């Protein structure tokens, strides 16, 4: 029944704009009072969603891609954090392996995991699903 009752109309009050220039009013230091709906929208849009900064385009004239990537050596702590960290969702990926399975497998044989993943990273091999 609530939606059938009259709603209270409270218009947005006028907004003081501090940008100078296109307002048309020659007030003190560029301040002007905006009262129309479109002027208020423009002020909110300009303040809440400013334009991104401009940057110079990147020059790729002397760029040469490297055929070899120098990956840092995998540490045991890094692998342990990756294998035992909690993930919010428990849904398995396309390989149907859940995070719980990975945690139990890692805890059962951490040295095997370390040797296996060190070889994968050092050789640059990433198995597909």
Establish if 129 belongs to a structural domain. Answer: no
Q: Provide the domain limits for residue 113.
A: 76-123
Establish if 4 belongs to a structural domain. Answer: no
Establish if 29 belongs to a structural domain. Answer: yes
Q: What per-residue confidence (pLDDT) applies to 87? A: 76
Establish if 17 belongs to a structural domain. Answer: yes
Establish if 58 belongs to a structural domain. Answer: no
Establish if 115 belongs to a structural domain. Answer: yes
Task: Tell me: pLDDT of 111 over 90.
Answer: yes
The pTM of this model reads 0.44
Number of domains in the chain: 2
> What sign results for the dihedral spanned by CA atoms 19, 20, 26, 29?
positive
Q: pLDDT digits over 21-49, tens only?
A: 444 444 445 688 888 889 888 888 888 89
Same domain, 44 and 81: no
Q: How far is CA 100 from CA 61, 75, 78, 107, in A?
A: 48, 22, 18, 11
Q: What per-residue confidence (pLDDT) applies to 71? A: 72
Instruction: Round to whole Å and give the CA distance between 30 and 37.
Output: 20
Establish if 53 belongs to a structural domain. Answer: no
Establish if 94 belongs to a structural domain. Answer: yes
């Amino acid at each position: 029944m609530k939606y059938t009752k009259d709603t209270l109309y409270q218009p947005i009050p006028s907004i003081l704009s501090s940008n100078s220039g296109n307002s048309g009013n020659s007030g003190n230091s560029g301040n002007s009072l905006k009262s129309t709906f479109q002027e208020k929208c423009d002020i909110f849009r300009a303040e809440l969603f400013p334009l991104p900064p401009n940057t110079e385009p990147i020059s790729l004239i002397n760029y040469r891609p490297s055929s070899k990537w120098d990956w840092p050596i995998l540490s045991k702590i890094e692998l342990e954090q990756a294998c035992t960290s909690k993930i919010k969702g428990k849904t398995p990926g396309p390989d149907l392996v859940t995070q719980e399975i990975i945690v139990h497998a890692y805890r059962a044989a951490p040295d095997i995991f370390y040797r296996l993943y060190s070889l994968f990273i050092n050789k640059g091999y990433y198995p597909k699903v």
